[in-house]
Structure 1
């Protein structure tokens, strides 16, 4: 661990002792949720991990210091302070030199977790290939980064505003294995089933841990992606989802929204058009992924 990376003493102690640790990202509460709900969701996620005997390691940047294991005060600061930037992997050295505070994306969080020695990371949804990417080449940095890191990442797939079929193709090309948790239906974040299938499922955290250990023994340095769907009773109604998404895409086209502004525009449209229901599903998705990630971390540490 270099001086450029701060690892909280509790996280260091757990890693040295071989106790389970779960990485958590910060952009969900710096840029993904409104105040003050964002802070409560962040603190609840840590409590969920602790309830299963797992040390939470929320990751972010404080005054230029990439930190693995933010304190409650630091989480509150990132949650409630204006001017916090969004940092992907390429932004980390710039944020460090400029002394910026930042929420870390999946790519940045995964990199910092790996540098600290944390093996399991729970998030809401990973980035993917954007609609129209055949012309724009718009693809999340998450994919290339995860292809180089031997982590286990739990998500509910990619957000449905992205191009899910092309994302699955890219995951295969990059050598990223996708395993469904108790399903071969690939989730669509807000909905339990995107309509696309994946080849493999795992029935328990212990089985997922065994797959990760075997991957490591074979010298494969790529993330194992666990697709964990939101329970069907808590998903956004698929018919409502499809209708609203079609409206959102049409609105984005009519207003000339493009590039990195597209996804925030579409997600905001979904939230307003569903009267906040999509936001509730987002939180349910995250909680489910944190719970499963904690169980996988415990299994990898031999505590389950």
Structure 2
């Protein structure tokens, strides 16, 4: 067993962590703060980095990123801002790294399609919602906080412009805390897309009203609502217990005092959309362009609302991460008590002398064993080679290296 663990730790696949019960990928670089949080089983909240490079101007981008991190710490969780620096996927950034990202030009907006290229060419990349979800899954961070997710663009039925954020949500287990879909998008079609792909969408609070980023109401309802962080954590726990392998969106409405006037923001968006169309701005460049244009059209009011809603989302996301960690700890404790209750663990144990009885039990050397869970500890291939000598045939067994990694 010791040799097997050493093999796994030294393997190029990664190193085995007792705390995370999974393999840590060699492509991930953890900050000291996140590394300690994992060791101590503290709740961690993932944060994207495009908000720093493409979402806001300097210095508001850096100030907001650092303030959001501090809000999460004050709530009792650990922030993990995610970005690619010189081809390495960083889980958690230092203050100088955040500052550097905020000032740099030419940082690549990195979604799923861009990740391999940015890493291979050792470039700097800021992760989108989709890119951050992928990194959070690799790092086993269940909760991710952002401002607003991408979606189906207006006139998307003709342009086929649909954000990769939605696709990623459909194949991840991450819970994403946001203020709904960015107002520049088609909210109704986005909700339909999420429903089709099995993503659980919940409004946060007493109402099912789905928020519209800068405003509290969109005219659409979410299928469900979670009344508080504990409720949201229970939904995530249930989804993981069921192995649904699809994400959860918790849409938090912007605070009333920070919300914008619906008519003002819609007029600004329509004007920005016309300008973008005239200039031929499309693809991944359109969202940052529209956000900047709306900020100018509203005299900076939309930027203030954007900052306010992200800070509020950070509080909610941290609370959900904390409550989910409590649920996990409670479950682990209960499992530990069951194991220590004096009942012997029941495994399927292969043996030549073992056979199945009529009652479905396994019998070995006269002793009946109940059927139970299967425990797989490695595996080996056995090859036989034969050599002919003058007097007899000698059979030699050669046991190869384990063909499967052990599960513990």
TM-score normalised to structure 1 length: 0.96
Question: Could you tell me how far apart the structure 2 residues matched to 1:115 and 1:57 are?
Answer: 13
- Alignment deviations for residues 154-192 of structure 1 (CA, whole Å, 9 cap, x no partner): 000111111111000000001001011012111110111
Please name the residue that 2:203 is paired with.
180
- Provide runs of 4+ in structure 1 moved above 6 Å: none
Q: Deviations over 1:179-227 (max 9, x none)?
A: 1101211111011111111121111101110111011111111111000
Aligned to 1:152: 175
2:109 aligns with one of 78, 81, 86: 86
The Cα RMSD (Å) is: 1.6
Is residue 237 of structure 1 aligned with residue 261 of structure 2? yes
1:77 aligned residue (100, 117, 123):
100
Which residue in 1 is equivalent to 2:354?
none
Indicate the residue corresponding to 1:64 in structure 2: 87
Report the equivalent of 2:151. 128
Q: 2:308 matched to 1:284? A: yes
Q: CA deviation at 1:254?
A: 4.2
Aligned pairs for 1:1-304 within 5 A: 1-182=24-205, 183-302=207-326
Counterpart CA distance in 2 for 1:241 and 1:124 is 16
Equivalence for 2:363: none
Whose Rg is larger? 2
Please list the CA deviations of residues 221-254 of structure 1 after superposition, one character each: whole Å capped at 9, or x if unmatched. 1111000010122111112112222222333344
Worse-matched range after superposition: 146-155 or 7-16 = 7-16
- CA distance 1:64–1:254, change in 2 (3 Å): closer
Secondary structure in 2 matching 1:208: helix
Deviation at 1:114, TM superposition (A): 1.1
Distance 1:193 1:221, change over 3 A: same
Whole-angstrom CA distance in 2 between matches of 1:135 and 1:252: 16
Q: Distance in 2 between the 1:256 and 1:24 partners?
A: 31
SS in 2 for 1:23: strand
Instruction: Give the Å deviation of 1:273.
Output: 0.9
Determine if contact 1:206/1:299 at 8 Å carries over to the other structure.
yes
Select the structure that is richer in helix: 1
Q: Shift of residue 51 of structure 1?
A: 0.5
CA distance in 1, matches of 2:286, 2:48: 22
* C-alpha distance 243-129 of structure 1, shift in aligned 2 (>3 A): same
Structure 1 SS opposite 2:144: strand
SS in 2 for 1:153: strand
For residues 103-150 of structure 1, give each alpha carbon's deviation from its aligned partner in whole angstroms, at most 9, with x where no partner exists: 110011111011011110000001101111111211111111111111
* Aligned 8 A contact 2:147 2:306 in 1: yes
Between stretches 105-114 and 195-204, larger displacement belongs to 195-204
Residues 259 and 4 of structure 1: CA distance in aligned 2, closer, same or farther (over 3 Å): closer
1:256, distance to aligned residue in structure 2 (A): 4.2
Aligned partner of residue 19 in structure 1, secondary structure: coil
